[in-house]
Amino acid sequence: MSGQNHEHHVSSAGQLWAVAAGLFILTILTVVMAKFVAIPPPFDVIVALSIALVKAFLVAAFFMNLYWDTKFNAMLLLMAVAFFILMVSITLLDMLYRVDVVPSF
């Protein structure tokens, strides 16, 4: 990966079409799961978000080239996700355990 004259990764047209096909299929799957399969409440969100995460991985790894890229860029993305999870966790620790919901919210 290092060195002065390294070649940039060039995805083949077949690879790109395969990734897009995967994304199309997952989109149809998530709609079918949400609209035609009765999944009990907490798990419907988990299924929908899991499919979204797989789609996001496909886009980030193969369309945005992180799979072939320097690991530093992938680390930046993962750090952003980690800090987002931190923000959500700390905020929910407050918001979910209040005796009274904030008035007018």
**Could you say whether residue 61 binds another protein (CB under 8 A)?**
no
Contact 98, 91 (CB under 8 A): no
- Residues 85, 7: Cα–Cα separation, whole Å: 35
**Could you say whether residue 29 binds another protein (CB under 8 A)?**
no
- Residues 67, 58: Cα–Cα separation, whole Å: 10
- The size of the interface with another protein (CB under 8 A), counted in residues, is 50
**Could you say whether residue 64 binds another protein (CB under 8 A)?**
yes
Instruction: Using CB under 8 A, pick the residue from 8, 14, 93, 103 that binds another protein.
Output: 8
End-to-end CA distance of the chain: 51
What separation in angstroms does the CA of 52 have from each of 28, 73, 81, 92? 12, 21, 14, 22
Instruction: Using CB under 8 A, pick the residue from 43, 52, 68, 71 that binds another protein.
Output: 52
**Could you say whether residue 4 binds another protein (CB under 8 A)?**
yes
79 to 98: interface string for another protein, x by CB under 8 A? xxx-xx--xx--xx--xx--
